[in-house]
Amino acid sequence: MVRRAPMCPSEETEVDSEEGVEFIHEGGVGSEARVDIELRTRFPGIGGTIDTYQAIAVARRNEFSRAPGIGHEMFLRHTLIKKLEDYFFKRGFYRYAHITRPLGSTDRTYIYEWAFGHDGFPWSYLNEGGDSISVRLDDWDAFSSIFLEAGVDLESDCANPDNGSLSQNIVHQLHLGANASRPILNRLWKRIDFGPRSIKLDYDRLLDYLRKNELDIRETLRFGRYDMMVLGCKYLVKQHSMDLKERERLNMLLLDYRLSTLAFINARGVGERSTREIRFQPRAS
């Protein structure tokens, strides 16, 4: 079931309720936000609220910033990065998806898939001779380099500020005990924290990358995703220059993306023929 809500911060925004939400645990506090772990069947966001059949384990990021619409902007930042990954993954740049799926937002919060696992693994070990041996995190070099080419720096803020030899903001899902004799970690990991203090996003460089690869991106991704990414960049850089038609199209494209993503997640373990994944009912005009 969807109740339509505008994206524009100057207009009325959807207010999140606790219906369809089960609080599980505190997920952590950083310099920009507090994260709660929840089970959800209700997802407010740009375009409206979507109710799902299966509950999904999510992170709800509560922003400290008082900027209007900060939750929607954070959702959009995360969405741009995730759609880039969908393109990179389908083109075979690396072999396991490392970005969680953004699912919804309110004026002050946004919601995304919870990444199960642990961070804080060592980036290096000392061998018997006292030499530092770097850990090879599978997919990391290919992942970080292709994103950097598109203007997204995912290498920053990945070392603990108090102990640079330990990782942060990389959740490893199956840590099998790397050591100095075998300093290798498998590719079952997720990059988290998409706030501006953690991830540097060069929108001019991203737009240039999108334009240079427009034809291939359009052929690789679902219809409308390229336009969603370009309009999303424009909104984040200079939203006041967007006209009403552009805002309405962006809202429509983002709603379609959210419906598709939630349907995909709910189909896992249910079966391709299930018709109960999500309930969609536009608000009567």
H, E, C per residue of 58-125: EEEEEECCCCCCHHHHHHHHHHHHHHHHHHHHHCCCCCCCCECCEEEECCCEEEEECCCCECCCECEE
172: β partners: 118, 189
The Cα 272–Cα 253 span in angstroms is: 23
Could you tell me which residues come within 8 angstroms of residue 26 by beta carbon, excluding any fewer than 6 positions away?
Answer: 34, 35, 36, 37
Of the candidates 99, 93, 100, the residue with the CA atom closest to the CA atom of residue 220: 93
Report whether 138 contacts 70 (CB < 8 A): no
Q: Which residue has the higher pLDDT, 275 or 118?
A: 118
Q: Which residue has the higher pLDDT, 233 or 13?
A: 233
Cα angle 192-47-99, degrees, rounded to a multiple of 5: 15
pLDDT for res 277: 59
Of the candidates 229, 251, 187, 172, the residue with the CA atom closest to the CA atom of residue 5: 251
pLDDT-derived band of residue 4, with 50, 70 and 90 as boundaries?
very low
- Pull the structure tokens for residue 53: 């059949």
Q: Decide if pLDDT at 56 tops 90.
A: yes
Q: Classify burial at 227, counting beta carbons within 10 Å of its beta carbon; exposed 0-12, middle 13-18, buried 19 or more.
A: middle
pLDDT for res 280: 57
pLDDT for res 119: 86
pLDDT digits (tens, 9 = 90+) for 18-54: 788 999 999 888 889 999 999 999 999 998 899 998 8
Report whether 40 contacts 56 (CB < 8 A): yes
The phi, psi pair for 47, rounded to 5°, reads: 95, -25
The Cα 123–Cα 165 span in angstroms is: 5
Q: Decide if pLDDT at 254 tops 80.
A: yes
The Cα 180–Cα 243 span in angstroms is: 57
Q: What is the mean pLDDT of residues 75-102?
A: 97
